């Protein structure tokens, strides 16, 4: 149950999930007819391995769904009824072999067949589509999404889409009138809304099709060997062209909301027109910008560029992935390992800030929205709001960087004892998990780049002064007091630093081997005063 204050704030919120939810609520001012739940859909083409671009669509759709449940809640606070369908278009024909799969020859032999009728090159599932669908579901389950998985092959083969297919056949010419003006002459010559599946090769055929009997589902076409074939288009014997399939699915399933990438803008326009021809309407939705890789190129499932879901989770948390995805869906984002550390720390900063914020600010807080995905209790703020990490991920990376590529989880956790009194992992499960990720990130990306340089003459004198100060302080001096000591040395004109930035850069480059680093007071408290003095001695000996 939601509070009246939360519902009122949600209906006025300027945060993008709530803006989308408010627009959807106008579609059904009195709720969906018949009391049916509002249906959200997210689509997936299983021609390649799932990547973060696939995941983000499910996450963003879920964020809108959760916002809608509040915006359209009843007067007594009961959440609006919703469903989320994750739909896999696994009846699509395989057009090319992805670069990042084994047994490419196996896929080459099965080109143009429906993905659900191609053997799994990984030899784990009954088909290539089943393998990729399983990978998608595995991660969605791992993130605790609430969804219903639907495979196109199940709907086509079982006859569940047959009535909708008859509708396409009855409106074949009207659909051609929409599509043909958008196609090049060569493509238009072979285009048909219906793509029959050859009874001889099993291929999804791109050939002209004549509708013989729409009610019976009978079509006529010329097979690839030149023979004229007359057969049913129902019950898995045909597949619809992508834009027609999109529209048919909206109408057949009763989809109310679906977002898609900028590259499908035209698809949305044409599919919307076809949906109206089929007696339905285009869903509400958001057109989002695409992710780019480190080079600024579009992420491709077939190329396998960019980050995989597993790669992000090797170096960062699930929450940090959601946090990076949340803001500005209409702006392109570069997706590479370099963005992970900041995403981890920013997420926790936003999460810690929730209880201090006014309600309208909470609704725009990415961490609030991500917590709401997992917490359906209606509590305000969501469960987990206000929690914090005792040590930032950035500081953890600096510690691991000093300990070296061979550092162990146990060593790192022992050093954290310099910073925290309570070292029970059960009390700090998020930090405990982050240690392993920091070790992996350091091993793969930081350690190979670290080079500690010798200090300049003035820097050496400043380091000696710092060492002398540290020799006088207790081992458990607070991080803020240690930071004050570092500041005072950097501001001392005797050492010749033009500004504090130059002093901190010198500390990072001589002690840590990097041009950037943490608050030195926090680092010294974490690494230990005596261990820091040893680092200074090593630097002075270079």
Give dist(CA 180, CA 171) in Å, integer.
Answer: 14
Tokens of 385: 């709001």
Give dist(CA 260, CA 283) in Å, integer.
Answer: 11
Instruction: Check if the beta carbon of residue 431 is closer than 8 Å to that of residue 389.
Output: yes
CA distances from residue 520 to 113, 362, 399, 431, 541 in whole angstroms, order as listed: 60, 32, 11, 20, 21
Which residue has 């859909």 as its token pair? 41
CA distances from residue 106 to 110, 111, 267, 277, 420 in whole angstroms, order as listed: 7, 9, 31, 40, 55
Residue-wise burial string across 334-346, b where 16 or more C-beta atoms lie within 10 A, e elsewhere: ebebebbbebbbb
Give dist(CA 495, CA 346) in Å, integer.
Answer: 35
> Per-residue DSSP letters for 79-147?
PPPEEEEEEE-TTSBP-S--TT-S-HHHHHHTTTSBGGGS--TTSSSSSHHHHHHHHHHHHHHHTT---
Instruction: Check if the beta carbon of residue 2 is closer than 8 Å to that of residue 79.
Output: yes
Q: Is 374 annotated as a binding residue?
A: no
Give dist(CA 274, CA 68) in Å, integer.
Answer: 27
Tokens of 426: 């059960």
Which residue has 């939810």 as its token pair? 21
Phi, psi of 78 (to 5 degrees): -70, 130
Omega before residue 107 within 30° of 0, cis = no
**Which residues are documented as binding site?**
301
**Which residues are documented as binding site for ATP?**
301
């Amino acid at each position: 149950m939601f509070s009246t204050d939360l519902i009122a704030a949600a209906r006025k919120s300027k945060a993008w999930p709530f803006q989308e939810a408010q627009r959807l609520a106008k579609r059904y001012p009195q709720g969906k007819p018949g009391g049916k739940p509002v249906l959200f859909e997210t689509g997936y083409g299983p021609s390649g391995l799932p990547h973060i671009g696939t995941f983000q669509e499910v996450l963003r759709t879920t964020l809108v769904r959760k916002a809608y449940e509040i915006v359209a809640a009843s007067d007594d606070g009961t959440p609006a009824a919703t469903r989320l369908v994750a739909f896999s278009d696994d009846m699509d024909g395989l057009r090319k072999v992805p670069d990042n799969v084994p047994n490419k020859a196996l896929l080459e032999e099965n080109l143009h067949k429906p993905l659900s009728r191609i053997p799994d090159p990984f030899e784990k599932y009954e088909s290539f589509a089943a393998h990729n669908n399983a990978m998608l579901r595995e991660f969605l389950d791992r993130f605790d999404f609430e969804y219903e998985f639907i495979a196109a092959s199940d709907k086509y083969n079982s006859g569940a889409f047959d009535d909708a297919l008859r509708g396409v056949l009855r409106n074949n010419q009207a659909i051609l009138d929409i599509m043909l003006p958008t196609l090049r002459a060569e493509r238009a010559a072979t285009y048909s809304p219906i793509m029959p599946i050859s009874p001889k090769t099993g291929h999804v055929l791109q050939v002209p099709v004549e509708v013989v009997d729409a009610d019976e589902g009978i079509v006529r076409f010329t097979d690839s060997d030149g023979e004229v074939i007359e057969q049913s288009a129902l019950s898995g014997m045909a597949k619809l062209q992508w834009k027609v399939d999109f529209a048919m699915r909206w109408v057949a399933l009763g989809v109310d909301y679906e977002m898609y990438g900028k590259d499908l803008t035209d698809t949305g326009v044409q599919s919307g027109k076809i949906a109206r021809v089929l007696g339905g309407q285009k869903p509400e939705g958001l057109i989002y910008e695409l992710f780019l890789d480190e080079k600024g190129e579009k992420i491709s499932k077939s190329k396998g560029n960019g980050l995989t879901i597993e790669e992000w989770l090797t170096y960062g948390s699930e929450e940090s992935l959601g946090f990076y995805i949340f803001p500005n869906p209409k702006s392109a984002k570069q997706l590479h390992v370099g963005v992970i550390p900041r995403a981890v720390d920013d997420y926790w900063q936003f999460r810690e800030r929730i209880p201090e914020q006014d309600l309208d600010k909470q609704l725009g807080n990415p961490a609030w929205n991500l917590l709401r995905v997992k917490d359906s209790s209606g509590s305000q703020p969501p469960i987990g709001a206000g929690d914090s990490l005792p040590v930032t991920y950035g500081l953890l990376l600096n510690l691991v960087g000093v300990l070296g590529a061979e550092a162990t989880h146990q060593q790192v956790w022992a050093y954290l004892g310099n910073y925290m009194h309570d070292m029970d992992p059960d009390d700090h499960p998020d930090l405990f998990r982050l240690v392993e990720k920091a070790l992996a990130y350091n091993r793969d990306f930081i350690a190979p780049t670290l080079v500690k340089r010798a200090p300049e003459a003035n820097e050496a004198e400043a380091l000696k002064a710092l060492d002398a100060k540290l020799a006088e302080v207790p081992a458990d001096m607070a991080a803020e007091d240690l930071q004050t000591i570092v500041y005072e040395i950097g501001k001392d004109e005797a050492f010749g630093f033009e500004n504090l930035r130059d002093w901190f850069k010198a500390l990072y480059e001589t002690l840590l081997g990097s041009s950037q680093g943490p608050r030195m007071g926090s680092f010294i408290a974490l690494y230990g005063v005596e261990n820091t003095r040893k680092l200074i001695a090593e630097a002075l000996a270079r």
